[in-house]
Amino acid sequence: MTRDDLTEKLLDIKRERGWTWAHICEAIGGMSPVLITAACLGDMRLPKAQCARAKELFALSDAEERLLHEPPLRGRSTAMPPTDPLIYRFYELVMVYGATWKELIQEEFGDGIMSAIDFDFTMERQPDPKGDRVRIAMSGKFLPYRYYGAQQGTPELGYRED
Amino acid sequence: MTRDDLTEKLLDIKRERGWTWAHICEAIGGMSPVLITAACLGDMRLPKAQCARAKELFALSDAEERLLHEPPLRGRSTAMPPTDPLIYRFYELVMVYGATWKELIQEEFGDGIMSAIDFDFTMERQPDPKGDRVRIAMSGKFLPYRYYGAQQGTPELGYRED
Amino acid sequence: MTRDDLTEKLLDIKRERGWTWAHICEAIGGMSPVLITAACLGDMRLPKAQCARAKELFALSDAEERLLHEPPLRGRSTAMPPTDPLIYRFYELVMVYGATWKELIQEEFGDGIMSAIDFDFTMERQPDPKGDRVRIAMSGKFLPYRYYGAQQGTPELGYRED
Amino acid sequence: MTRDDLTEKLLDIKRERGWTWAHICEAIGGMSPVLITAACLGDMRLPKAQCARAKELFALSDAEERLLHEPPLRGRSTAMPPTDPLIYRFYELVMVYGATWKELIQEEFGDGIMSAIDFDFTMERQPDPKGDRVRIAMSGKFLPYRYYGAQQGTPELGYRED
Amino acid sequence: MTRDDLTEKLLDIKRERGWTWAHICEAIGGMSPVLITAACLGDMRLPKAQCARAKELFALSDAEERLLHEPPLRGRSTAMPPTDPLIYRFYELVMVYGATWKELIQEEFGDGIMSAIDFDFTMERQPDPKGDRVRIAMSGKFLPYRYYGAQQGTPELGYRED
Amino acid sequence: MTRDDLTEKLLDIKRERGWTWAHICEAIGGMSPVLITAACLGDMRLPKAQCARAKELFALSDAEERLLHEPPLRGRSTAMPPTDPLIYRFYELVMVYGATWKELIQEEFGDGIMSAIDFDFTMERQPDPKGDRVRIAMSGKFLPYRYYGAQQGTPELGYRED
Amino acid sequence: MTRDDLTEKLLDIKRERGWTWAHICEAIGGMSPVLITAACLGDMRLPKAQCARAKELFALSDAEERLLHEPPLRGRSTAMPPTDPLIYRFYELVMVYGATWKELIQEEFGDGIMSAIDFDFTMERQPDPKGDRVRIAMSGKFLPYRYYGAQQGTPELGYRED
Amino acid sequence: MTRDDLTEKLLDIKRERGWTWAHICEAIGGMSPVLITAACLGDMRLPKAQCARAKELFALSDAEERLLHEPPLRGRSTAMPPTDPLIYRFYELVMVYGATWKELIQEEFGDGIMSAIDFDFTMERQPDPKGDRVRIAMSGKFLPYRYYGAQQGTPELGYRED
Amino acid sequence: MTRDDLTEKLLDIKRERGWTWAHICEAIGGMSPVLITAACLGDMRLPKAQCARAKELFALSDAEERLLHEPPLRGRSTAMPPTDPLIYRFYELVMVYGATWKELIQEEFGDGIMSAIDFDFTMERQPDPKGDRVRIAMSGKFLPYRYYGAQQGTPELGYRED
Amino acid sequence: MTRDDLTEKLLDIKRERGWTWAHICEAIGGMSPVLITAACLGDMRLPKAQCARAKELFALSDAEERLLHEPPLRGRSTAMPPTDPLIYRFYELVMVYGATWKELIQEEFGDGIMSAIDFDFTMERQPDPKGDRVRIAMSGKFLPYRYYGAQQGTPELGYRED
Angle, helix J33-40 to helix J3-17, in steps of 10 degrees: 110
Burial of C63 (0-12, 13-18, 19+ CB in 10 A): middle
On whether the CB atoms of residues H142 and I131 are closer than 8 A, the answer is yes
Tell me how far apart the alpha carbons of residues A116 and H145 are, in angstroms, rounded to a whole number: 9
Q: How far is F87 from chain G (nearest CA, A)?
A: 22
Which pLDDT score is estimated for H147? Answer: 77
Angle, helix F85-109 to helix E21-28, in steps of 10 degrees: 110
Nearest Cβ partner for J84 among F62, F73, F116: F73
Contact list in C for residue B117 (CB cut-off 8 A) is: 112-113, 143-146
Per the annotation, the verdict on F89 as an active-site residue is yes
Q: How far is J101 from chain I (nearest CA, A)?
A: 12
On whether the CB atoms of residues D121 and D35 are closer than 8 A, the answer is no
I149: confidence class by pLDDT, cuts 50, 70, 90: low
Q: Kindly state whether residue J19 falls inside one of the protein's structural domains.
A: yes
- Predicted-complex ipTM score: 0.91
In this structure, the answer to whether residues I53 and I89 fall within a common structural domain is no
C147: confidence class by pLDDT, cuts 50, 70, 90: confident
E91's CB contacts (< 8 A; 6+ apart) are E80, E81, E82, F80, F91, F94, F98
Tell me how far apart the alpha carbons of residues B52 and D162 are, in angstroms, rounded to a whole number: 65
On whether the CB atoms of residues F126 and F134 are closer than 8 A, the answer is yes
J21: confidence class by pLDDT, cuts 50, 70, 90: very high
Strand order in the sheet with A112-126: A112-126, A133-144, B133-144, B112-126
On whether the CB atoms of residues J78 and H89 are closer than 8 A, the answer is no
Which pLDDT score is estimated for C146? Answer: 86
How many CB pairs below 8 A link H and J? 26
In this structure, the answer to whether residues C54 and C13 fall within a common structural domain is yes
Measured CA distances, A84 to C72, D89, H55 (Å)? 8, 12, 49
E112's CB contacts (< 8 A; 6+ apart) are D117, E106, E142, E143, E144, E145, E159, F86
In this structure, the answer to whether residues F15 and F58 fall within a common structural domain is yes
Q: Could you tell me the CATH number of the domain that includes residue C33?
A: 1.10.260.40
Nearest to H77 by CA among H151, H150, H7: H7
J147: confidence class by pLDDT, cuts 50, 70, 90: confident
pLDDT digits (tens, 9 = 90+) for H74-128: 999 899 999 999 999 999 999 999 999 999 999 999 999 999 999 999 999 999 9
H149: confidence class by pLDDT, cuts 50, 70, 90: low
Q: pLDDT tens track of chain G, all 162 residues?
A: 999 999 999 999 999 999 999 999 999 999 999 999 999 999 999 999 999 999 999 999 999 999 999 999 999 989 999 999 999 999 999 999 999 999 999 999 999 999 999 999 999 999 999 999 999 999 999 999 987 764 444 444 434 444
Contact list in E for residue D112 (CB cut-off 8 A) is: 117
Which pLDDT score is estimated for F149? Answer: 66
Whole-number average pLDDT of chain E: 91
Q: Kindly state whether residue F155 falls inside one of the protein's structural domains.
A: no
Mean pLDDT of A15-32: 96
Write down the catalytic residue from G26, G56, G70, G92.
Answer: G92
**From the CB coordinates, do chains B and D have 3 or more pairs under 8 Å?**
yes
Nearest to C87 by CA among D116, F54, E140: D116
Contact at CB, I67 and G15, closer than 8 angstroms: yes
Contact at CB, C147 and B32, closer than 8 angstroms: yes
In chain E, the number of structural domains is 2
Question: Among I37, I69, I101, where does a domain finish?
Answer: I69
Which pLDDT score is estimated for F101? Answer: 96
Which pLDDT score is estimated for B152? Answer: 45
Q: Kindly state whether residue H75 falls inside one of the protein's structural domains.
A: no
**From the CB coordinates, do chains C and D have 3 or more pairs under 8 Å?**
yes
In this structure, the answer to whether residues A40 and A92 fall within a common structural domain is no
On whether the CB atoms of residues A123 and B104 are closer than 8 A, the answer is yes
Mean pLDDT of D61-80: 96
Q: Kindly state whether residue G118 falls inside one of the protein's structural domains.
A: yes
Mutate to test the interface with J, among E87, E95, E97, E130 (most CBs of J within 10 A): E95
pLDDT digits (tens, 9 = 90+) for A86-119: 999 999 999 999 999 999 999 999 999 999 999 9
Nearest Cβ partner for A116 among I79, I83, I85: I85
In this structure, the answer to whether residues E58 and E19 fall within a common structural domain is yes
Contact list in C for residue E67 (CB cut-off 8 A) is: 15
Q: Kindly state whether residue F120 falls inside one of the protein's structural domains.
A: yes
C154/A19: higher pLDDT = A19
In this structure, the answer to whether residues H11 and H61 fall within a common structural domain is yes
Q: Say yes or no to pLDDT of C154 above 70.
A: no
Contact list in D for residue F84 (CB cut-off 8 A) is: 73-75
Whole-number average pLDDT of chain J: 91
Q: Is F119 helix (H, G, I), strand (E, B) or coil?
A: strand
Q: How far is B16 from chain H (nearest CA, A)?
A: 5
Which pLDDT score is estimated for J149? Answer: 67
Which pLDDT score is estimated for I44? Answer: 96
Q: Kindly state whether residue A58 falls inside one of the protein's structural domains.
A: yes
In this structure, the answer to whether residues D64 and D19 fall within a common structural domain is yes
Which pLDDT score is estimated for G147? Answer: 77
Contact at CB, E49 and D161, closer than 8 angstroms: yes
Interface of chain F toward chain C, CB-CB under 8 angstroms: 81, 83, 85, 88, 92, 95-96
Residue A36's Cα: distance from chain center in Å? 10
Q: Could you tell me the CATH number of the domain that includes residue G116?
A: 3.30.1160.10
* Helical segments of chain I, H only: 3-17, 21-28, 33-40, 48-58, 62-69, 85-109
Q: pLDDT tens track of chain B, all 162 residues?
A: 999 999 999 999 999 999 999 999 999 999 999 999 999 999 999 999 999 999 999 999 999 999 999 999 999 989 999 999 999 999 999 999 999 999 999 999 999 999 999 999 999 999 999 999 999 999 999 999 987 764 444 434 434 444
Helix, strand, coil percent values for chain I (each to nearest 5)? 45, 20, 35
Q: Kindly state whether residue B12 falls inside one of the protein's structural domains.
A: yes
In this structure, the answer to whether residues D19 and D48 fall within a common structural domain is yes
Q: Is D25 helix (H, G, I), strand (E, B) or coil?
A: helix
pLDDT digits (tens, 9 = 90+) for E20-68: 999 999 999 999 999 999 999 999 999 999 999 999 999 999 999 999 9
Nearest Cβ partner for F108 among E74, E102, E125: E125
In this structure, the answer to whether residues C96 and C120 fall within a common structural domain is yes
Nearest to G113 by CA among E96, B71, C144, J10: E96
A24's CB contacts (< 8 A; 6+ apart) are A14, A36, A37, A40, A57
I148: confidence class by pLDDT, cuts 50, 70, 90: confident
Q: How far is G131 from chain E (nearest CA, A)?
A: 35
Range of the domain at C134: 85-144
In this structure, the answer to whether residues D140 and D108 fall within a common structural domain is yes
Q: Which helix (H) or strand (E) holds G113?
A: strand G112-126
Nearest CA in chain J to F70: J15
pLDDT digits (tens, 9 = 90+) for F94-149: 999 999 999 999 999 999 999 999 999 999 999 999 999 999 999 999 999 987 76
> Percentage of chain E with pLDDT > 90?
88
Measured CA distances, J29 to G105, I150, I156, J32, J33 (Å)? 19, 9, 13, 8, 8
Nearest CA in chain J to G72: J96
In this structure, the answer to whether residues A65 and A8 fall within a common structural domain is yes
Nearest Cβ partner for C78 among D77, D98, D108: D98
Contact list in D for residue C95 (CB cut-off 8 A) is: 74-75, 78, 80
Q: Say yes or no to pLDDT of H151 above 90.
A: no
In this structure, the answer to whether residues H132 and H96 fall within a common structural domain is yes
Tell me how far apart the alpha carbons of residues J21 and J13 are, in angstroms, rounded to a whole number: 12
Tell me how far apart the alpha carbons of residues F124 and F121 are, in angstroms, rounded to a whole number: 10
Q: Say yes or no to pLDDT of A150 above 60.
A: no
> Percentage of chain F with pLDDT > 70?
91
Contact at CB, H34 and I102, closer than 8 angstroms: no
Q: Which helix (H) or strand (E) holds D134?
A: strand D133-144
Which pLDDT score is estimated for C29? Answer: 95
Write down the catalytic residue from B66, B74, B76, B89.
Answer: B89
What does pTM read for this prediction? 0.94
Contact list in A for residue C1 (CB cut-off 8 A) is: 8, 12
Q: Say yes or no to pLDDT of A75 above 50.
A: yes
Q: Is I25 helix (H, G, I), strand (E, B) or coil?
A: helix
The alpha carbon dihedral of H111, H116, H122, H128 has a sign of positive
Tell me how far apart the alpha carbons of residues G55 and G43 are, in angstroms, rounded to a whole number: 18
Contact at CB, B92 and I85, closer than 8 angstroms: yes
Q: What is the three-state SS of D64-111?
A: HHHHHHCCCCCCCCCCCCCCCHHHHHHHHHHHHHHHHHHHHHHHHHCC
Which pLDDT score is estimated for G151? Answer: 46
> Percentage of chain A with pLDDT > 90?
88
DSSP state letter for I150:
S
I43's CB contacts (< 8 A; 6+ apart) are H96, H97, H99, H100, I72, I74, I75, I76, I77
On whether the CB atoms of residues G96 and H85 are closer than 8 A, the answer is yes
β-partners of residue B119 are B140
Contact list in A for residue B73 (CB cut-off 8 A) is: none
Q: Kindly state whether residue D149 falls inside one of the protein's structural domains.
A: no
Nearest CA in chain I to H136: I138
Q: Which helix (H) or strand (E) holds H11?
A: helix H3-17
Q: How far is J48 from chain F (nearest CA, A)?
A: 28
Contact at CB, A30 and H73, closer than 8 angstroms: no
DSSP state letter for H81:
S
Q: Which helix (H) or strand (E) holds J113?
A: strand J112-126
Angle, helix H33-40 to helix I85-109, in steps of 10 degrees: 90
